[in-house]
């Protein structure tokens, strides 16, 4: 492969991962905050779910906090490009890739969990309450399944590109 093709591929990989991460940040920030800001409604809807009614109170806190932790990890990963001197910035630069990996893995876990839950509700539940936050509550259950599957696929693409890029970095620096 010529050097220009490799450079184009690496830029395309970088921007693809970045776009997906910013989409995830937007999604999880919006849904996490909307659930916390209207916690009473989220708890009520979660309690109405036939599979979550016994654990609805802890779930109503765990889900939005987990979404916001994914946002935090993905946002912290962006600070690794800072060039400011200082111990705090050194830590952000040093652990930026780890934050990115944690954020992507957390996003994949949550999206897989949400997709599985929606599929279970569509195939098994007799009653379908919606406990989503904000404008996503306007989607039908089938739309939710497609939406979650698409975002799960995007996270898988970002993770696979990220892992491939990390392996190339390790090979090029001789740290394999």
State how far the Cα of 125 lies from the Cα of 127, in Å rounded to an integer.
Answer: 5
Range of the structural domain that residue 9 is part of: 3-173
State how far the Cα of 41 lies from the Cα of 137, in Å rounded to an integer.
Answer: 12
Structure tokens at 28: 């999880």
- pLDDT tens digit sequence for 105-155: 999 999 999 999 999 988 887 777 766 666 777 788 899 999 999 999 999
pTM here? 0.86
Length of the chain: 176
CB 102 within 8 A of CB 59: no
pLDDT-derived band at 30 (thresholds 50, 70, 90) equals very high
Is the pLDDT assigned to residue 6 strictly greater than 60?
no
Pick from 35-44, 67-76, 166-175: least confident: 166-175
Structure tokens at 144: 């939710």
In the 8-state DSSP scheme, what is residue 38?
T
Calculate mean pLDDT across residues 59-87: 87
Domain count within the chain: 1
What proportion of the chain, given as a percentage, has pLDDT over 70? 86
Matching residue, tokens 């698409």: 150
State how far the Cα of 136 lies from the Cα of 57, in Å rounded to an integer.
Answer: 21
Q: Chain-wide mean pLDDT for the chain?
A: 85
Whose CA is closest to 35, among 71, 5, 74, 64?
64
pLDDT of residue 131: 62
pLDDT of residue 176: 56
């Amino acid at each position: 492969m010529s050097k220009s093709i490799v450079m184009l591929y690496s830029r395309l990989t970088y921007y693809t991962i970045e776009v997906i991460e910013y989409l995830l940040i937007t999604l999880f920030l919006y849904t996490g905050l909307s659930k916390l800001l209207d916690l009473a409604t989220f708890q009520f809807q979660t309690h109405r779910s036939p599979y979550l009614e016994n654990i609805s109170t802890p779930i109503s806190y765990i889900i939005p906090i987990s979404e916001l932790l994914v946002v935090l990890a993905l946002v912290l990963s962006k600070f690794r490009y800072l060039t400011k001197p200082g111990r705090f910035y050194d830590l952000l630069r040093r652990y930026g890739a780890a934050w990115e990996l944690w954020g992507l893995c957390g996003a994949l876990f949550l999206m897989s969990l949400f997709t599985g839950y929606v599929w279970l509700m569509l195939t098994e539940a007799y009653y379908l309450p919606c406990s989503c936050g904000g404008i996503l509550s306007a989607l039908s259950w089938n739309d939710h399944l497609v939406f979650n599957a698409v975002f799960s696929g995007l996270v898988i693409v970002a993770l696979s590109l990220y892992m491939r890029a990390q392996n190339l970095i390790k090979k090029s620096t001789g740290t394999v």
